[in-house]
Amino acid sequence: MQLKINPVKSVPGGNRYCGPAVVSSILNVDTKTSAFLLRYRNNRKKITGTAPDWIKNVFNDCNINMDLIESYGRYGKRFTGTWRKPPTLNQWLEKMLPTMIETNNVYLLIARNHWQLVQGTSYVCGQTKDIVPLDDPKVKRRAQVNAVYLLTYVGD
The answer to whether position 85 is within a domain reads: yes
d(CA 145, CA 147): 6
Tell me how many degrees the CA angle 122-123-125 measures, rounded to the nearest 5: 160
User: What's the CATH code of the domain at 68?
Assistant: 3.90.70
The answer to whether position 2 is within a domain reads: no
The answer to whether position 25 is within a domain reads: yes
Q: How many structural domains are present in the chain?
A: 1
Q: What is the mean pLDDT of the chain?
A: 88
Reported as a single tens digit per residue, the pLDDT across 112-124 is: 889 999 999 999 9
Please give the residue range of the domain that contains residue 37.
18-153
Instruction: Check whether 75 has a pLDDT greater than 70.
Output: no
The answer to whether position 64 is within a domain reads: yes
The answer to whether position 9 is within a domain reads: no
d(CA 43, CA 54): 10
Instruction: Check whether 144 has a pLDDT greater than 70.
Output: yes
Sequence-distant (6+) residues with CB within 8 A of 19 are 38, 47, 49, 50, 54, 55, 115
Instruction: Check whether 82 has a pLDDT greater than 70.
Output: no
Mean pLDDT of 98-117: 91
d(CA 100, CA 98): 6
The answer to whether position 147 is within a domain reads: yes
Helix (H) / strand (E) containing 29:
none
Amino acid making up residue 77: K
List the 64-71 sheet strands across, edge first: 64-71, 145-153, 106-111, 114-119, 122-125, 132-133
- The predicted pLDDT at position 78 comes to 61
Query: Above pLDDT 70, what percent of the chain?
Result: 92
The answer to whether position 115 is within a domain reads: yes
Stronger pLDDT, 142 or 80, i.e. the higher one? 142
DSSP symbols for 56-119: HHHHHHTTEEEEEEEE-GGG-----TT-SSPPBHHHHHHHHHHHHHHH--EEEEEETTEEEEEE
